[in-house]
Amino acid sequence: MKKKTPVVILGGGIHGVGVLHDLCSRGYSDVSLFEKAELANGTSSQSTKLIHGGLRYLERPSQIPLVYECLHERSLLLKLVPDLVKPIELLIPVQQKNLGELLKIKIGLSMYDFLAGRSLIAKHKVLSFEEAYERAPLLKNKTDYRFYSYWDAQTDDKELVKRVAESARNLGGKVHEFSEVFSIKDQKNHWELKIRDSKGRETHVEASYVINCLGPWANDFLKNNNFSVPYKAENNKGVHLLFEDLGLKSGLLLKAVDQRIFFVLPWNGKTLVGTTEEFFDGNQDQVTTSLGEKEYLLDSLYQSLGISFAEKKILKTFAGLRWLVVEEGRSLSLTSRESVWGQHQNQNGFVLTLYGGKLTSYRKLCEKIGNLVSKSAGVSAPTKTHIRESWKAPA
C-alpha cells in the first residue's frame, strides 16, 4: 500500500506526540505519527516525572535560559492540564552549622523564584524541624537541620503523552502504534518511508517532511539507512526505585553518596526514588536495573536519611535513557539538557532529527519545530498548543 502525507513523525514519545499536536493545532491535516510499540514506550514513561525548571542546572550560568524556559512551561502546563500536572512541595535539608551550604541554597532558590516570575506556585521558605517532619516523617533523624521548602510540579509522564496524543487526534492527527519505521530513502522531491505493523504488513509512505523523534534510537535509525549523523550523542541511563508509600506529603531533594542530587517523591500513592546516571551503550530495547544501581540508591538513602531500606521493600525498578549530545570533557551529570536538531534537506523538504530535550519543555521545543516546518512549507498559521481549547478534556 502506498500513501502520501505532508509530514511524518517518527516515535511516540513526548516529542513525537508534541510535534503532532503542534502541527495539528496550526490546522495541518493528514499528519501521521508512527510508533513501533505503544505510546511512551521509551524514555517518556521512565522519567522522574517532574515538571520543573531544574534547580541544580542553576550551577551552570549557561543553563539559566533553559531553566527560565522550563519554569514558564511549568506554569503553562499547570494551567493547561491541571488534572495531570500538579504542584509538589520539595524539601531540602541543610545542616544548621553548614553556613556556606545554607547561603548557596538560599541564593539558588531566590533565583529560581525570580526566574519563575508570577507563577501559580508558592515561593520558597524555611521550615522548622517540626514542620518538615510533619510533611516527611523520613526526616526523623534530622533534628539539627534547617529545611528549605520550594515548589515544582509533578506528572504522570505516560498519561501526559497519551493526553497530548489524544488532543492531536482530536484535531485530525493520525497515530499509528505498533508500526515500526524500518527504512527511509531520499527520492529527491520527497522522502519514502517503509513501515511494518505488528502483523508484518508493510506500508510505503511518501512525505515532504520527516521529524525524527526516536530519541535513544534516532542516530541508529539514520546510520542503518546510510544517512549522515548530524550530532554525536550518547545514552545516559537513569534508574528509579518504587517503594510502598513511605508517608511523604512533600518530596525530598537529597545528596547521594557521590554528592549528586537525587529525589524521594510521593507519586501515585507510592514513593519514587531516583535517579542514577551512567553511560549506556547497550541495546536501547533492553534497559534494565543493575544490582550496583539499586545499591547506589539504597546507600544514598541511608547516608542522607540515616534509615536503612531493605532491598525486598522495593516494589519495582525502572530505567530510562537520556539522549544527550556529547560535550567533550564534560561529565554526564553536567552535560546540557538543552535540545538541538540536525537537518537533511532535499528539493521539497527535510528530515529533522531531534537531540536532547526535557519532558517539561517539550511543548516549546515542538513549537520551534512546528515553526521550522511551517516556514519551509510557506504556512503562516501559529501554534495553538498554549491555548486550552486545543487540548482534549480529561475522559
Ligand X SMILES: Cc1cc2nc3c(=O)[nH]c(=O)nc-3n(C[C@H](O)[C@H](O)[C@H](O)COP(=O)(O)OP(=O)(O)OC[C@H]3O[C@@H](n4cnc5c(N)ncnc54)[C@H](O)[C@@H]3O)c2cc1C
Minimum distance from residue 74 beta carbon to ligand X (Å): 9
The residue (of 71 and 298) whose beta carbon lies closer to ligand X is: 71
The residue (of 88 and 127) whose beta carbon lies closer to ligand X is: 88
The residue (of 145 and 266) whose beta carbon lies closer to ligand X is: 266
Calculate the alpha carbon distances from 301 to 100, 140, 165, 304, 307 in Å. 23, 13, 37, 5, 7
Minimum distance from residue 36 beta carbon to ligand X (Å): 4
Minimum distance from residue 110 beta carbon to ligand X (Å): 22
Peptide bond into 203 cis (omega under 30): no
The residue (of 42 and 108) whose beta carbon lies closer to ligand X is: 42
The residue (of 146 and 235) whose beta carbon lies closer to ligand X is: 235
Q: Cβ contacts of residue 130 below 8 Å, gap of 6+? A: none
The residue (of 127 and 210) whose beta carbon lies closer to ligand X is: 210
The residue (of 145 and 362) whose beta carbon lies closer to ligand X is: 362
Minimum distance from residue 48 beta carbon to ligand X (Å): 3
Rounded to 10 degrees, the C-alpha dihedral 129/131/132/133 comes to 80
Strand pairing class (251-255; 314-325)? unpaired
Minimum distance from residue 138 beta carbon to ligand X (Å): 20
Calculate the alpha carbon distances from 339 to 23, 369, 380 in Å. 19, 11, 24
Calculate the alpha carbon distances from 146 to 126, 132, 318 in Å. 7, 9, 32
Minimum distance from residue 98 beta carbon to ligand X (Å): 27
The residue (of 88 and 91) whose beta carbon lies closer to ligand X is: 88
Minimum distance from residue 41 beta carbon to ligand X (Å): 4
| Contact indicator for 243, 271 with CB cutoff of 8 Å | yes
The residue (of 14 and 92) whose beta carbon lies closer to ligand X is: 14
| Contact indicator for 357, 15 with CB cutoff of 8 Å | yes
Q: In which residue are the cell numbers 499547570 written? A: 78
Minimum distance from residue 241 beta carbon to ligand X (Å): 12
Minimum distance from residue 341 beta carbon to ligand X (Å): 11
- Site of interaction with ligand X (CB under 6 A): 10-16, 34-37, 41-44, 46-50, 180-181, 213-217, 221, 238, 275, 320-322, 357-360
